[in-house]
Structure 1
Amino acid sequence: MRTLCIGIVVAGLLASPLYCQSLSLEQAWQSAQANHTTARNANLTLAKQLNQAQTNDYLPSLSLSVGASASASILGDSYRASLNPSIGISFSLSSSDRFSKAEKDLLVQTAQTSYHATLQGLQSEVTTAYWNVVAASLAKQAQQLDVQQQTQTLSSIQEAYDGGKASSLAVSQAKLTLSSANLKLQERTQALENATQNLESYVGYPVDGTSDSLLAVQKLKPEEALISLAAKTSTIGNLELKVRDAQLALQTQQAKSISPNLNISASTSLGATLATDSSLLKDSTSLSMTVSLPLDAYLPDSSAQTTLENLDADIQIAQNNLSAGMQKLQFQVKQAYQSISQAAENLQYLKQNQALAEETYSLTRASYEAGESTYLTLQESENQRTSTALAILQQQLTYTLALYDLSALLEVDIQTLFAH
């Protein structure tokens, strides 16, 4: 769950720019890709897996050795030195190796899909951290405005009290309200610092502020059109690759357990002895071919038969997980879509309610200044006005984050969600 810090706001806050405009969400994500450990490790892991997939299993084995020796007889006045170089080449092939290329292709696709999924998870974390800063910034601005307003109210009541037109109780109530507002401002300031530090841990450098605003309500594409995008996500891609992996594992085991296997081995070597008194050059070449037919898999309850049955069950499990994963993702997309629609409806209702709250506050303040209402009544009206503005901010944050939740689920740019 995202922890979003919401403070008291006034009607004009939602349209106002943030007081620090420097870092966009796109810049934050690009920096996280370059600096965050998760992204760097994902790049290294991908490179390692791709390198492994490029290994050529059919290359022959090469060996080269060189030996030297020397001997001498002092009494016989003789001396002999020799050099013994040799080189060997060997290779071995099996008909069951025909699935090697398919295994490597699957390894490449799995590595790329896992890499994409890792970056998608990191991007979701960065997005959350970024909007937490935006929310905390708005909350602090709202509280600053509230402190200014309460300071002005206290000054007005103090002036009325000095003129004998207000009671000491009204002054005390105004001071208490201002004190509470200042305390909330300190809390909002600390919350902003905490949110900023969290974002900095992703981007890798100090953040002075954010530049992106909360998203305005826009028309979404039809729900069915967005649900159809679920099949293209890395979440489903990973599950599909697991099905293929299980199928390939069964095919490979069948080739080893119930199909005739042809094995070819060949080797050749060349050796020489180069000595001061004589030289010798010789070679050795061998070629062998065997055909084997495994029978264990045809025996009831044998280890080979059990292995094949288990691998077949693994395919069914992977297919079931794929089906369940698709259903789960489609349900999550529907939920996110409904959350967005509900937040948009709530915003429309709250903005209508805000107009009424503003009108009520204006009338109550005029009544208070005319001496027809108490300060407590004025304060209640003001609380109602600011609470309504707070609810609008909460809903706008809910709407924005729901949009990013949906775009993260579908792994698409957020603009893809809107009807154009």
Structure 2
Amino acid sequence: MRKSLSLILMMTWAALLWSDPKALTIEDALQIAKDNNYSLKANDVSLHTAVKKEKAAWNVFMPTMNLSMTYAKSNEVSTTSALTPVPSSFSPGDNSFDKVQVMSFDSKDSLVAQMTAQLNLNLAIGNGIKALKLNSESASLDRQVAWQDTALDVQKSFYQILLLQKQRAILQSQYQTMEQRLKDVRNMYNNGYSTELDLLQVQVGLERMKPSLTQMDEGIKNGIKGLTYKLGLPQEQEITLVGEISVDDLSGVEGDLDSSLTLLQLDNNLEQLENAKKAAFYQNLPTLTLGWGYNPILGNPTDGDKYSSFSDYFDSDNWSDQGSLTITLSMPLDAWLPFSSSQMDIDGYKDQIKALGYQKLSATEGLAVQLKSLRSTLVSQSQTITASLKGRDLAKRTYDLTKVAYRSGTKTYYELKSAEDDYLSAEFDYISSQYDYLMTYLDLKYNLGQF
């Protein structure tokens, strides 16, 4: 009862915690994704399983053991005969025998117990242990790749939403400027200083902006929903993003192909194939099998005359043991034939290794080209940022001068708003250039596995 009450209180507290809008920085978003993303949780389970199997790799030296108990009743009575020596009648007690007689035992049912243990020893055991280690390394790489994918996706979604929000603010300002323009043209039209065509053109421009605002609102809404899902948060949770699109605090990206998770995965796959090929070959070599069996048999357990008391069932004379200790050395012969299935498996591994080797060469060259291209793009985008910054500063200076002129009465409010819109557009171009640089920067870090 207390546990149930505690669980209800925890769930209620969690619901209250996530009920209010939550402000997230990019650092908050990454940490939440690391803790809650469903894909990462699935990879964590796979990694835990692989590590657990690797730690238990020693169990290949544990023999297979079985225990069974069988009661058998035959349809017909079987007779077992044996030659039994008869002591000498001339010298009883001197352990001499002068004849034998045939003794027969009828048996129709039996109680058979069996306990066996068997251990196969082959050079492939070492490859089996190594396979578990390589599988654990593969699961670890998969987990790292999953985090790289998640981190890249979350960061790109986060900054894309910020860019859309900035663009939406500029569009809203331009819409307000157009509304003021419509008022001015309508006044001019009413006073006879403008034509109806001029008025209609402004109205059409204003109406065309409304769908753009609606579409942008929907895009921001859907982007936030997608980000909420990637973070592993409930869809009911409202979030607001806190941050700016800026490249000022970005550190340099150092690294080469050796840190690429894609190439590390290919190396792991190659090592697994090499290990599997060796294991397939070693399985064709001699195998030492150690076996032990304990097989007690009780004949005619339902014979009331033979087992007059319960203690008779435990009399060792009524039991026989057909168990044994075996040491067997065996080797398959057909595996050494040129077209045997074993040889075909080994040849198949060789072909896979060869194909994967070419795949790695292609991936290495492709990644080298991609890294070079990304670094070159960063240089070009850095120059674009510098040019956009100059354009923004010029637009800001124009806007400041227009404000002074408007206050002195030499510029209209519409001219002031137009100058403001030009400045906001230049500001957006500057932010967009930083956004493009940031996306390339994230792609470069992703390809080097540095999240």
What TM-score, normalized by structure 1, do the two folds share?
Answer: 0.74
Instruction: Confirm or deny: 8 A CA contact 1:130 1:199 kept in the other structure.
Output: yes
Q: How far off its partner does 1:195 sit?
A: 0.8
Name 2:39's counterpart in structure 1.
Answer: 38
1:212 aligns with 2:243: yes
Instruction: Confirm or deny: 8 A CA contact 1:96 1:261 kept in the other structure.
Output: no
Instruction: Confirm or deny: 8 A CA contact 1:25 1:127 kept in the other structure.
Output: yes
Aligned length: 374
Which of 38, 55, 60 is 1:57 aligned to?
A: 60
Instruction: Confirm or deny: 8 A CA contact 2:141 2:261 kept in the other structure.
Output: yes
CA shift in 2, pair 1:33/1:382, >3 Å: closer
Q: How far off its partner does 1:146 sit?
A: 2.8
One-letter code of the match for 1:216? V
Instruction: Confirm or deny: 8 A CA contact 2:288 2:330 kept in the other structure.
Output: yes
Q: How far off its partner does 1:396 sit?
A: 1.7
Name 2:229's counterpart in structure 1.
Answer: 201
Name 2:106's counterpart in structure 1.
Answer: none
CA shift in 2, pair 1:158/1:371, >3 Å: farther
Name 2:331's counterpart in structure 1.
Answer: 292
One-letter code of the match for 1:100? G
Instruction: Confirm or deny: 8 A CA contact 2:396 2:423 kept in the other structure.
Output: yes
Which of 258, 261, 267 is 2:292 aligned to?
A: 267
One-letter code of the match for 1:243? L
Instruction: Give the whole-Å Cα distance in 2 for the aligned partners of 1:21 and 1:308.
Output: 58
Instruction: Confirm or deny: 8 A CA contact 2:148 2:446 kept in the other structure.
Output: yes
CA shift in 2, pair 1:130/1:291, >3 Å: same
Name 1:345's counterpart in structure 2.
Answer: 383
1:308 aligns with 2:350: no
One-letter code of the match for 2:291? A
One-letter code of the match for 1:244? E
Q: How far off its partner does 1:249 sit?
A: 2.0
Name 1:11's counterpart in structure 2.
Answer: none
Q: How far off its partner does 1:196 sit?
A: 1.0
CA shift in 2, pair 1:308/1:176, >3 Å: closer
Name 1:147's counterpart in structure 2.
Answer: 175
1:113-262 equivalent positions in 2, closer than 5 A = 113-154=141-182, 167=194, 175-203=203-231, 204-205=233-234, 206-217=237-248, 221=252, 225-226=254-255, 228=256, 230-257=257-284, 260-262=285-287
One-letter code of the match for 2:391? N
Secondary structure of the 1:64 match is strand
Instruction: Give the whole-Å Cα distance in 2 for the aligned partners of 1:300 and 1:83.
Output: 49
1:400-415 equivalent positions in 2, closer than 5 A = 400-413=438-451
Q: Deviations over 1:149-203 (max 9, x none)?
A: 44455556667778x5964666665555544444432222121111111112222
Structure 1 unaligned blocks of 5 or more: 1-19, 70-81, 414-420
Moved more, 100-109 or 328-337: 328-337
One-letter code of the match for 2:50? Q
Secondary structure of the 1:117 match is helix
1:103 aligns with 2:106: no
Q: How far off its partner does 1:218 sit?
A: 5.5
Instruction: Give the whole-Å Cα distance in 2 for the aligned partners of 1:303 and 1:68.
Output: 41
Q: Deviations over 1:73-107 (max 9, x none)?
A: xxxxxxxxx99765433333223323221111111
CA shift in 2, pair 1:300/1:58, >3 Å: closer
Q: How far off its partner does 1:295 sit?
A: 6.9
Instruction: Give the whole-Å Cα distance in 1 for the aligned partners of 2:224 and 2:347.
Output: 55
Name 1:27's counterpart in structure 2.
Answer: 28
Instruction: Give the whole-Å Cα distance in 1 for the aligned partners of 2:164 and 2:32.
Output: 21
CA shift in 2, pair 1:151/1:209, >3 Å: same
Considering only aligned residues, what root-mean-square deviation do their CA atoms show, in Å? 3.9
Q: How far off its partner does 1:64 sit?
A: 3.1
Q: How far off its partner does 1:341 sit?
A: 2.2
One-letter code of the match for 2:324? T
Instruction: Confirm or deny: 8 A CA contact 1:21 1:211 kept in the other structure.
Output: no
Instruction: Give the whole-Å Cα distance in 2 for the aligned partners of 1:407 and 1:395.
Output: 19
Q: How far off its partner does 1:361 sit?
A: 6.0
Instruction: Give the whole-Å Cα distance in 1 for the aligned partners of 2:326 and 2:363.
Output: 51
Name 2:93's counterpart in structure 1.
Answer: none
Q: How far off its partner does 1:348 sit?
A: 0.7
Q: How far off its partner does 1:241 sit?
A: 0.7
Q: How far off its partner does 1:380 sit?
A: 7.9
Secondary structure of the 2:116 match is strand
Secondary structure of the 1:22 match is strand
Q: How far off its partner does 1:127 sit?
A: 2.2
Instruction: Confirm or deny: 8 A CA contact 1:133 1:199 kept in the other structure.
Output: no
Name 2:83's counterpart in structure 1.
Answer: none
Instruction: Confirm or deny: 8 A CA contact 2:50 2:132 kept in the other structure.
Output: no
Instruction: Confirm or deny: 8 A CA contact 1:65 1:86 kept in the other structure.
Output: yes
CA shift in 2, pair 1:400/1:153, >3 Å: same
CA shift in 2, pair 1:292/1:145, >3 Å: same
CA shift in 2, pair 1:96/1:198, >3 Å: closer
Instruction: Confirm or deny: 8 A CA contact 1:140 1:192 kept in the other structure.
Output: no
Q: How far off its partner does 1:255 sit?
A: 1.8
